[in-house]
Structure 1
Amino acid sequence: MEQEKEEKKEKAVEEKDTGNEDEKDQEEEEEAKDIEENEVEPEEKDEEEGGTELSTEEDMGSYEDVLKVYSDDRYPTDIFLTLKEFRDSSLLTDLTLSTDDGKDFNVHSLVLAAVSAHVQEALIERNWKRNWSMFVGPEVDHVGLQAVLEFAYTGAILALNRETLITGTSLQLQYEPALSLCLNFLQQEINPDSCLDVVSFAEAYGMVHLLEMAEDFVLRQFQKVSCTSKFKDLRAEHLLKYLNSKSLCVPSELVVFKAVVAWIQAKPTTRMMLAKELMKTIHFPLMTFKEFKEVQSLNMWSDRSLSKLFAKIFEDFCSNDTDPQNQCRVYLPKESLVLVGGEQISGDFSCRRISKELWFGNSLRNHTGIMKAMEWRQLGEMPEPPRLSHEVAVLKGLLYVIGGRKYDPLQNSWERLADMREKRCSFSVVVLNGKLYAIGGDSQLNNVESVECYCPTANSWSFTRPLDMPLTGHAGCVLHEQIFVSGGLSSGYQCQSSMFSYHPEKGNTYLANMNKPRAHHCMESLGGHLYVAGGVTTDENMAMVDHLACEVYNPVADCWTAIMRLTAPHVGAGSAVLEGKFYVLGGYSQEDYSDTKLTHRYDPNLQQWENMGKMPGPNNDIRASVLFLPPHLRS
């Protein structure tokens, strides 16, 4: 073959020298040139490329520009395994790390300098001198240092727990990867038994963010934290700080009282003198008679030194003090319920008003016994037009009013966005994988089956796979990265009991039906389940009536279970989940078209609905979401 190639080369060169311009000779010249450059015969090349010919110069150019990159995914792992073997055998190690407890570790300075700012600075100062040493300080023990080195050479730490944390070592070495790993571990594993340890740990090392997170956990899980043994070791200044905080979340004043008594009785000799100051943090007038009987029956009051204190407590309980400080306990959630748009009908049904208003729940207020209320404040107004039967969603801290508006709470500003491709009302919107999906709805008195997807990056809507049938007045929700749709009205305005999961490419997958048909209702995901409440259903005469029954869907078992009924109708209500509780807000009654001016909250732990007070303004066809608002908007 090589001889044949050479002969063709010589023949091509000879023909070129003779100036032969015959078309056949020109083709042979090009062929010879191709052979010289690629050392592959044309027949062989065609065979390698599956026999495909390149018919134009443009095709040839694109073919020659194709580049292939080959890589070995195991390469980084193999390199560090080899480096670890070198370190274990003390090969090429040039840095000795010494701990206060007398342990020495021989390592490669370049490996540590790649991840440790402290080692990197020291290495630069020494201009990479061989065989140097570093004392890491009394804060670092050999166990922590060994774990850091393990992470530096392997990217993992074996058997990490609260007892083997390496945060101190990471801080000393300014070793950010290991430090981040430890902080993530602490945040993920925090619980009522460990949170106070995390508070102490964060204080000792000046970790502001970790301290805020841990103290926030203590405040919002106070009832559980106060029952742990470590709570009894809490410093007095910390306890007072928690008791006076507006982020202290407790179901009743009795919980606070029991926590204070448990703390005092753990060390009565030294702590009894603080009883008076601690009792001032408890709102005794908010207790019921049954709760105060528990206070009165406490053996602690037999101590004569506390007789005056109990007399003052009893006086407070019996008083009709109108001081606002004693009328309720104020609790500030981290996030706020936000209400958008809707309509309000006058008491005599003479007029209706569609709203542009935005309201937010600033605080929750516990009054006497089970009496609770939401403190509402006006957030502002959305740009024209006013809205009802609309939808809202929150994505990356921004509030989307579908379609066409976006609200940034940090800037307190609105931005115009792309409109949907099809007009719709009484539809549902869900957030999945960073995109918004508008599902079904009513378009100019015709139900639609279309589904649109909004991409925030491109600021554009595109159609995805439609539903199996037109649907309006349904509810949509995301759970376990799946879209679920329940109930609604068909094209014949028949109330549906269906439940299905929707995939943008595959379409509908039908699941177990609800116990009764339902439309214009609420559905929210909570604790791995889907809770459904409110709306309308059909009676035995196929007439639309208020639906007070509520149910919960278990996706694992694919079944529905009834829960406590609502005490008032909520048709076209708003809904949201705030701090593990299901809120249903406003709406109206299908039977007499009167407004439901109440907010109800379902607590899965108590398995009951709570009355959370009145709505602030419009409440029919209103929409709700949960949004983080900056402090200056809540002050």
Structure 2
Amino acid sequence: MATKVLPPPYSRVAPSSDIWRSNAPPPSKSFHSEHHSTQMLVQLSTLRTERVLCDGTLIASGEHFSVHRIILASCSEYFRDIFKRNDNLRDIQLGNAISKLGVELLLQYAYTSEITLTLENVHMVLLAAVHLRMSQVTDLCIEYLTSTLDVQNCVNLLQLAERHNFARLKKAVQDFIVDEFLQVSATSGFQELNADQVTFFISQDRMAAGSEMQLFKVAARWLEHDLVAREQYAPQLMRHIRFPLISSNDLVDHVQSHDFMMNNHECHQYLLEALNYHLVPHRQHTLQNSRTRMRSVNEVVLATGGELPHQDVSNLLMIFDESHSRWKKLTTMPLRRVDHSIAVLNHFLYVAGGQVTLNSNGKESIGTVHRYDPRFNTWLQMCPMQQRRAFFHLTALGDSLYAIGGKNEQGALASAEVYSPTENKWKYLKGLPEKSYALAGCCIKNKLFVSGGFSNHKFSRNLYLYGQEGDDWIPRCPMNTARGFHMMCSVRDMIYVMGGNHLNTYGDRVDVTSVEKYNPLHDNWITVSPMLTGLSMAGCAVTENNKIFIVGGYNGLSRQREKDIHCYNVAEDEWDVVGELPKASLRMACCTLTLPYNLFQETSPRENVSTTGGISLNRSASNATGGISVNRSASNATGGISINRSASNTSTGSNFVVRRPRTPTLR
């Protein structure tokens, strides 16, 4: 009998299909069920409830819990280890420290992936999770405890975090106490902190306490809570109190009255150091150390002086609150100023030169220099420059200030001078190759560059590097576009110039919208995204997040002062408008400055400030007295603004007079 040969199985399925006639194997496909794990947990929980296939028992506080050992091993390193060592172990007696409720909630999580935490049970769950090494539950407990942080429980949570080495909880509690330090220090729990813990808090730069005097009082109160046992820690604590930031009156009246400040030699030296610091304010620059550094991480954009509407000259220092896109009054300068220059050296703000009137010919320029101390919110007059200067550049380089070029009653200046805070004295440097004003400058990698300006009846493309060793000016690659009254700054390893004015083919002074960046390493210029509108005589500041802020200025196309705050994002190469000035302004000077936390918090928006300061934060939807509406055209590539003036004052019927801002005369 002949053997019957059966065809392969796949021949019965679509024998005419090309794919089955191929010698290639059938295609494969993987499937994943999103519900499988959830359904399996439900079934496992049911099996445990019904005590089906349970192969182990947990015993806690006399209570027996039937379990599946494989589930425990998958959730707990503790059980995984003991089952690996002894696979026959069935009954496990847990320690007395682990409560019945803690075990119940851990098993609930193991079988359902869910757990309900409350203030009443979280400590029991956390203790059990730590003992059984269930890290996921431990993390959930820490997350819950962090969400419950308040002034009353933070010290206890800090002790818990340190006892069990919960780094994430400890960091959260420390941050909370730093932010609420004065309130926490007033609680009874604060006295339970040890010396190292108190030292940690009073050493923080980001401390949000009201003042250094308040920090001293907190530290003194902790010491005197148990002076016999704690007096030995006085030097350790006082080492981190910044006594030079406490006024001399408070040092005498409220610090030296504490016995430990007089009896302990190290503490007494800190007191003497602070008193000497206040005796010689002109030399404070040379006395800087860790105890003179302000507690702050609040860097802000600051604007000083400027020309305001109605031919007013401002004497205000304003700071820009970027988070709320609004300006706040910080203080007032001793003098009103326009066309001045500012620089920050060792956290002091120096304001130099400029003019006290709007006369732009330089005949009323000044050489006065004032230093602002943000730690005390005070001003100190320093040695004046050797020459009066307006439309010049001032910069900080190393431990000195450099004043370059400018304009005074003699006309444009080529001279340059350097200021030594140690000697409180200016001395001349080698001057620029040519007389120039309306120039701009900045420092990068301890090198000073100046660019552009108005010289010999024309705007300049020149870029110079100051050679400190040879006291000379080294020409570098000139800019692509001549400009003056422009802005210049350094970001990362590049120099940026933007805006300003130049002369067109007809000899007219026009705006420059182009922006260029200079690479000092390769000595070349690259064009980047242009400004949204042409601006000159504006303030310029660079923040730590690599953003360039252009504040106010003059828009030559519309012949108007600018109100908007323009921001250039270096990383994205994009411009945006991020806020506006209370009043349109130009000829001011801007920078970034670190302010003490308490001073930053105390500054608040000023409304309806007089024209002496020239700031108002009230913006009406329409100008009731002037009736000016500003319409920006998206299609205007140069950023032009069309101005529509109402023919009459809608509230009084009188004509509205528009005063054009004065632009400096080019000579």
TM range (shorter): 0.3 to 0.5
Q: Which has the higher contact order (CA 8 A, sep 6+)?
A: 2
